[in-house]
Each structure stands twice: as structure tokens, then as C-alpha cells.
Amino acid sequence: MESTSIKPISKENRIFILDALRGIALLGILLMNIPFFGKSYLVHFNLEVFKEFSGPNYWSWWIVNGFFEGTMRAIFSMLFGAGAILLLERLEKKPMLEISPADFYYRRLIWLLLFGMVNAYVFLWPGDILYTYAICGLFLFPFRKMAAKNLAIFTFVFLIFSVLQSSIKPREAGRKRNKGEAAMQAKNQKKVLTDAQKNDLQAWKDYQHENSPAHIKAEIKKSNETMRGGYWVIFEEMAGVNGYIQTKDFYGELFFDAMAFFFLGMALFKWRFITGDRNIQEYAAVAFFSYGIGLPLSYWINKTAIANHFDASLTIQTFTFNLYQFKRLLLAMGHISLILLIFKLKLARYLFFLFSNVGKMAFTNYLMQSLICTFIFNGYGLGFFGYLERYQLYEIVLGVWAFQILFSAVWLRFFDFGPFEWLWRSLTYWQKQPFLKIRNS
């Protein structure tokens, strides 16, 4: 077997469509992240707080939550799983003299974890996904040679765990309502309440208070004041938030979520689906099937939330289990299939080229979104947090998209890698990597 010295994987071995898909997903993720950059998380999904049931705020909510919410992160996760196999296949075909494929792979993930900590605790972005990807990625190495059908089984298993985990909170809220209303009915009938009934009644009153528009508005006001403060004020707030996300939230929901879509991406790579190697009819059929079920399901979920006034305690009356992951999976597969169908039909080729540039610099562009948006919204920057309407946040998204597409195209004319990609590579190889594009004289 041929051995080589330490050097980055050549650009010629890149799969163009994977870069383009990664670029599209990276840009699309900002659609879901921008409400958290620009407003309190309490107002992100809830139209009830400010009665946003008409006009551009309402329709922007429907477009994002109806078609895209969660799907871009799903695609990004699939590509991470596919990328892990692609990387390891190349390393094992041409092993390096100084470092084993496993050593290289785990070094890369450890540095990714540290970058995630920087994104969370230095750039102050509580929606960081790098930390989750790094830890979950540690589990993928033993599965690299597993058959696609077995990877699909693991996808299903982790997806079911994710559904069960995400169903806990609404089911708990539903139980509070049922027990609280039963205790209230007993009280109205002049019955003597047991201690358990008294506790149930108090828990239900606390829930109603915490989820009342007045209380939520008060919490939003506090959040606005904090996020418009200085760096260290925001740091103290985000340290607690990120500590929760990277511990309890990670082990409660994010781990199963990420693993399910990692395994799906690995399976789709081995089936040569995500690489654009299947025929046009297959992509059209998958898109038709996925959208045919996913879009009505998404509409049903969102319409139910509106009808229930975004009260989680009522959700259990309609959905025994949280169907969000199934909706997300179907729409993500629909998006991927439609994109690959357009690609196979050789349409919008220049757009794919622009998206591939963004995808080649996905690591840089992801971290850049944190830097740009925290500067725009946080108090140590322009301080726009909480001031913009919901729909106006998406005008910021369009501006960031335009900048990142242009920046990526210009940067890659002169450099082989994005600045953070170069730093990540250099740290992984533990030696400075070439940076400037070599031009033939």
C-alpha cells in the first residue's frame, strides 16, 4: 500500500456537489439562527406573544417554519456523516507515514470541539453546533465500513430515541394541565384537596404564569437589556446558557438528533445518493414522496400550534408523540432530492458554482456568521438586539448571504482554503499548511 507524507487532501478529489450542498445548507442555517441572534428565544416560534397573525411577520414565520426549520441543520448533519466516510476512505487508501487515519481523524475532531467552545464562549453564540458535532463524530469511526442498510437501521433507532426524548416536555406539560384542571374542578366542587392535588394545582398555576404573554414579555425585556449590554455582561449570561446546552440539552436531545442524521448521511453516501450519482427519476420520486408527506405534516404541526395558542400543554391532545423529527427528515430529503434533481438537469450551474465556494469555506462561513451577527445585534457592537421586526431579520440574512457568497468567491481566487479551514488543518497536522494558491507562470 502506498504511503505519503503529511499533506492536505487535494482539491481535485473533492466532490463538487457535496461542496454545493454544504454551501446551501450553511447559508440556509442562518434562516433558523437569525431569530436567536436578533431576539429573545422566547419569541422565536411563538406568534402569540406579540399577536403576529398578519402581515410580513406572519408570512415570514410560515415560510421559515413551514419549509425550512430544522432542515438545513439536518442536511448539514448528513453531510458531516458523509464527509467522515469520504475523509477516512481517502486516508486509508493512501495512509500517511507520520500519522494513522484514526489519529488524524480524532485530532481533527478534538480541535473541532475546541473551536465550538470558542464559538460559544468567546464569540458568544449559544446556538453553536460544532461542539455537538465533535463529540458525536467521535462515535463514527467504528461504523465507517458498515453496510448502508445497517447504517439506515441505526438512523431509525436514533431517530426514535430522539422522538421519544423530544416528546417528554409536551407530555409533562399535558400532565400538568390534566392534573391541575382535575384539582381545580375538585376545588370548585368544594371538595377537600389532598396534598398531591394541592401540589398539582400549584404546578398548573405556575405553568400558566410562566407561559402567559405578560410574563414572557417581562422575560423578553430582561433579555433585551442583557443582550444590549457590554461584552462581559453578555458573557456571563451566555456562559450559563451554553453550559446548559452543552450538558443537559446535549445529552437529552442533541446527541440522538445528530447521530441519527450522521448515520443517514453515511448511508446516503454509500448508496451514492447524496453524491448525485443516482438517476433523475429517483431524485424526482424521492422529492415527490418526501414533499408529498412532509409539507402537509409541517402544515398540520404549525397550524395546530397556532390553534393551541402555542401552549405545549395542549399539544398532547393532538400529537401523542412529537412529530417534528419526522417532518424535518422528510423535508430535508425533499430539499436534497430537489437540489440534486436540478443539478442532474444541469440547471443553474453558475449558482451551484457559487454555492460550492461557500461550501468549501463552510467552517469559516459558519464562524463568520457568529461574528457578523453578534456584532450587529449585541450591545458591544451595533446593539440591534430586540429592535427589529421578525421579517426585518431576514433582510439581514439576505445581506449576510450576499457578503458570504461574494467573499468566498473572491477569497478562493487567491487562497486554497478559508482562513479557519487553514488554521484547522494546520493544527490537525501540527505543522503550518500551504495557504496561497499556487499559480502557474
- Residues 398-435 as b/e (b if ≥16 CB within 10 A, e otherwise) read eebbeebbebbeebbeebbbbebbbbbbbbbbeeebee
Q: For each of the chain's 441 residues, which pLDDT tens digit applies? A: 344 444 443 444 458 999 999 999 999 999 999 999 999 999 989 999 999 999 999 999 999 999 999 999 999 999 999 999 999 998 888 877 778 889 999 999 999 999 999 999 999 999 999 999 999 999 999 999 999 999 999 999 999 999 999 998 889 999 999 999 999 999 999 888 899 999 999 999 999 999 999 999 999 999 999 999 999 999 999 999 999 999 999 998 899 999 999 999 999 999 999 999 999 999 999 999 999 999 999 999 999 999 999 999 998 888 888 999 999 999 999 999 999 999 999 999 999 999 999 999 999 999 999 999 999 999 999 999 999 999 999 999 999 999 999 999 999 999 999 999 999 999 998 888 888 887 654
Residue 415, CA distances (Å) to 373, 406, 407 in order: 25, 14, 12
Helix (H, G, I), strand (E, B) or coil at 434: coil
Range 129-163 burial, b when 16+ CB lie within 10 A, else e = bbbbbbbbbeebeebbebeeeebbebbeebbebbb
- Provide the 3-class DSSP secondary structure of residue 401: helix
Residues ≥6 apart with Cβ < 8 Å to 79: 18, 21, 22, 25, 265, 274
Grid coordinates representing 327 are 417532518
Grid cell for residue 95: 495512509
Which residue in 269, 219, 155 sits closest to 386, CA to CA? 219
* Cell numbers found for residue 304: 395546530
Task: Please state, in angstroms and as integers, the Cα–Cα distance from residue 183 to each residue in 203, 313, 315, 355, following that order.
Answer: 11, 16, 20, 57
DSSP 3-state assignment of 6? coil
Q: 66 burial class (0-12, 13-18, 19+ CB within 10 angstroms)?
A: middle
> What does the alpha-carbon distance between residue 208 and residue 257 come to, in Å, rounded to a whole number?
29
The closest of 161, 135, 159, 171 to 328, measured between CA atoms, is 159
Which run of H or of E encompasses 346?
A: none
CA distance 428 to 420: 12
- Secondary structure of residue 165 in the 3-state scheme: helix
Measured distance CA(207)–CA(213) in Å, rounded: 12
Residue whose cell numbers read 402581515: 55
How far is residue 93's CA from residue 126's CA, in Å, rounded to a whole number? 38
Q: Let me know: does 315 contact 174? Beta carbons within 8 Å.
A: yes
Which among 295, 319, 297 has a CA at the least distance from the CA of 308?
Answer: 319
Helices (H) and strands (E) in the chain, counts: 18, 0
Rounded to an integer, what distance in angstroms lies between the CA atom of residue 54 and that of residue 324?
A: 24
Other CB atoms within a 10 A radius of the CB of residue 124 amount to 22
- pLDDT score recorded for residue 440: 56
User: In Å, how far are 33, 176, 242, 387 from 225, measured between CA atoms?
Assistant: 20, 32, 19, 11
pLDDT at 9: 39
DSSP secondary structure letter of residue 39: S
CA distance 338 to 343: 9
Q: How far apart are CA 332 and CA 297, in angstroms?
A: 13
